[in-house]
Structure 1
């Protein structure tokens, strides 16, 4: 009984030892497998690292090349900027010289009767080849913005330059013969409101005739320090209301120092007082005549600027350069002057 028990225990010990031995062998294999896996991961990481290094080296090369290219581009850009400035300066010099040489062939002031005779003559022109150009340019409009590019190129550059110099408040009408037998501009007394043009066998004067024949309800102000004129014409033919405003304003003098500054201050006060009287009369006439198509301003440009600030915003204002002296001109002469047209021979 004791021997059987001893054999049984020995057998169990043998089985247990074998199990432990086999377990050790199995754990070693797992470790080896884990080591192989880690080694494989290390190799992968090393490959990724090498790839990253290669990419970084390429980027560094590209970055260096980009810096070099940028520096080269900046050098070229600076060279072009210098060249552009030089050419711009040369161009401005040439323009200034050419503008100094280019002059209008002549200028005329045409009364209402004279402009009607002039338009009648223009209508009589006929060109079988269809080379007569008419263009109506409102204020601020260039010829290039109205007519076609093909026709624009047929107008001589000198003519275009002279035409661009004209910037009248009322716009202008341009009459041009492609063969330059006729080349002139008309500035009407009242605004050209829409652009138009034609190239044909005759000049189109219908828009000018329409402008000149309209009965405008107009207010005329001729402003000078100490003596100004206000007139209202309900039909652009005769003044229905006339008012001459006079006040004492000191004459200018050329003495210097404190005396001159004090004198100028007193003169400015006199002018301000005169303008108060003008505004008082102006507001009274505006109150009596509600419907006004336009206000024509002439005289001293500083006083014109002051009046413009005080006029209602809904009134159309036209500045008319002229040398009208109200102390020497009658209302009829003033009206004839402001209703005149200006002719420029280009």
Structure 2
């Protein structure tokens, strides 16, 4: 009665209505935050798994090819991952091969496979096994007209030579092996390391780690806030990476020195897209540990060539 006389009853009813509305809005916001948090967490998980999945692609393709062979399909006669001394020996052996005039074909095969003209030429030597060259794309293919040598190579760089028939295979060591002065940088969301090399000897180094938050499993406002902080930290880290690369180029006038940029695929792509960088090649590699250890892992992984014997 007293509340009604003093006009407080209507105010209390209004307060109750506003509190109910506030509860509805809070629940709606939290539901939306949960959806965004789940999407962000899924994106993090996907990014972290990309490199591991890419590293397993060759293995899974090999298993599939062996399965096809068991079912009567085609399969390569052998395959291997080569680096350092074994890779150098293979390149030297292929480069030393000699045959008659226009008896050795060297061809870079793009992602979409062979052109019809080259396919026709190869079919005369490989027959139906020419399909294995398409399966290996992108790659470098070396075949002689007698079928004594028929291999594909997947080097770290992208030479992409025109189809060349000669008395020898047209191979360059720098397609496969670290030669001359070059730089290799590895980038993760929390790490940067750059090495300058003369051949396979490192002559300069710089690297750092950034304080970037890891995964977060909680939902709601804390997850949304966590994501904003993490994205800001990653942006700051990438800016540090760009600054380090720019300082490297200015300090040594490296315009003629090839730069290979490797690491987490999404981070590498973002770094290239948002800068003036024009790396000689990029690659997704699984480099773990502190900067120097990650750089060593990246160098070992990058300078690896897959060999397939057709």
| Residue aligning to 1:329 | 293
Per-residue CA deviations over 1:50-74 (Å, capped at 9, x if unaligned) read xxxxxxxxxxxxxxxxxxxxxxxxx
Q: Does the 8 Å CA contact 1:232/1:240 hold for their aligned counterparts?
A: yes
Q: Which residue of 2 aligns with 1:306?
A: 270
Find the partner of 1:109 among 74, 81, 84: 81
- Equivalent residue of 1:292, what SS? coil
Q: C-alpha separation between the residues in 2 aligned to 1:321 and 1:176?
A: 29
Bigger relative contact order (CA 8 A; separation at least 6)? 2
Counterpart selection for 2:106 from 102, 126, 135: 135
Equivalence for 1:118: 90
Residue among 260, 263, 269 paired with 2:226: 263
- CA distance in 1 between counterparts of 2:221 and 2:146 reads 63
1:230 to 180, 183, 194: 194
1:208 shift after superposition: 3.3
Q: How does 1:4-83 map to 2 (within 5 A)?
A: none
1:147 aligns with 2:118: yes
Match of 1:188 in 2: 155
Counting matched residue pairs gives 240
Report deviation, 1:297.
1.6
DSSP 3-state at the match of 2:195: strand
Q: CA deviation at 1:293?
A: 3.4
**1:121 shift after superposition:** 4.2
Gaps of 5+ in 1: 1-96
Task: Tell me how far 1:211 sits from its aligned partner.
Answer: 4.4
Quick one: distance in 2 between partners of 1:165 and 1:209?
A: 21
- Structure 2 unmatched runs, 5+: 1-63, 69-73
Tell me the residue number matched to 1:342: 306
Secondary structure of 2:285's counterpart equals coil
TM score, norm. by length of structure 1: 0.56
C-alpha distance after superposition, 1:175-205 (max 9, x if no partner)? 34678765431122334253133377xxx34
Local SS of the residue matching 2:306: strand
Tell me if the contact between 1:104 and 1:162 (Cα under 8 Å) persists in the aligned partners: no
Partner of 2:258: 294
Aligned to 2:239: 276
Give the 3 Å change call, closer, same or farther, for CA 280–342 of structure 1 in structure 2: same
Q: Larger C-alpha radius of gyration, 1 or 2?
A: 1
Q: Which of 130-139 and 237-246 deviates more?
A: 130-139
Partners of 2:143 and 2:149 within 8 A in 1: yes
Rounded Cα–Cα distance in structure 2 between residues aligned with 1:288 and 1:336: 26
| 2:228 counterpart SS class | helix
Alignment partner of 2:186: what SS? strand
Decide whether aligned partners of structure 1 residues 148 and 340 sit closer, same or farther in structure 2, where only a CA change above 3 A counts: closer
Residue 215 of structure 2 aligns to a residue whose secondary structure is coil
**For 2:262, what is the secondary structure of its paired residue?**
strand
Give the C-alpha shift of residue 304 in structure 1: 0.6
Aligned to 1:221, which of 167, 172, 185?
A: 185
Following TM superposition, by how much is the alpha carbon of 1:164 offset from its aligned partner in structure 2, in angstroms?
Answer: 5.0
- Give the match's secondary structure for 1:117: helix
Per-residue Cα deviation, 1:89-125 (whole angstroms, up to 9, x for no partner): xxxxxxxx99x94776665332232112123444677
The whole-number CA distance in structure 2 between the counterparts of 1:157 and 1:258 is: 59
Does the 8 Å CA contact 2:261/2:279 hold for their aligned counterparts?
Answer: no
Q: Tell me, in whole angstroms, the C-alpha distance in 1 between the residues paired with 2:231 and 2:75.
A: 38
State the Cα RMSD in Å: 3.9
